[in-house]
Amino acid sequence: MSQEMINQLKQFKVIPVIQINKVEHAVPLAKVLVENGLPVAEVTFRTEAAAEAIRQMREAYPEMCIGAGTVLNAKQVELAKEAGSEFVVSPGLNPNTVRYCQEVNMPIVPGVNNPSQVEQALELGLNFLKFFPAEASGGISMVKSLLAPYVDVSFMPTGGIGKGNVNDYLGIDRIVCCGGTWMVSPALIESEQWDEIGRLVREAVELVK
């Protein structure tokens, strides 16, 4: 991933990790994010709607920074790329997926949670990594323990991060940003509670200033 894109994510601090079940929710959700000061999204490939959701968000709001999450294989990388995704994020470190991303010039942020995986990522030429699942893998103390020996590595922790602990993570040197779902929960999206999502997004932006 380019330093320019890493710097962009660093400015956002919080990356909304979004599960969209219905394509028609994509543009209204993008609108809420843009208008409330967080024009960035990681749209997870956990649903059939993901690729089309990214496409519609990209068309409606070309200025948004949009990535694809839960990308598990080359086919999903292709779908994400075609839809207009700027980067992909995976829950784990699959060397085949990483190499494919490198072949097609698609930045990837793979998930790691132990030293062996960090070293595997470094071997593949990657040093900006997702720490996942963050809280379940030891949280803050594990992040600090992993960053200590790997001085070139920086992290995007995701998983179990919310209002109560996001600033604890962001306070650590080389934590670029955190992925979070609390302001864009599937239940709120499903019930089209755009005003409430907007309120939570504004609150999140204020919280991490």
Compute the C-alpha angle 90/60/5, nearest 5°: 40
Identify the sign of the CA torsion 49, 53, 104, 69.
Answer: negative
3-state secondary structure at position 195: helix
Residues with active-site annotation: 42, 130
Residue 14: how many CA atoms within 13 Å on its side-chain side?
Answer: 27
CA-nearest of 50, 48, 32 to 40 is: 32
* Identity of the residue numbered 163: K
53 phi and psi, to 5 degrees? -60, -45
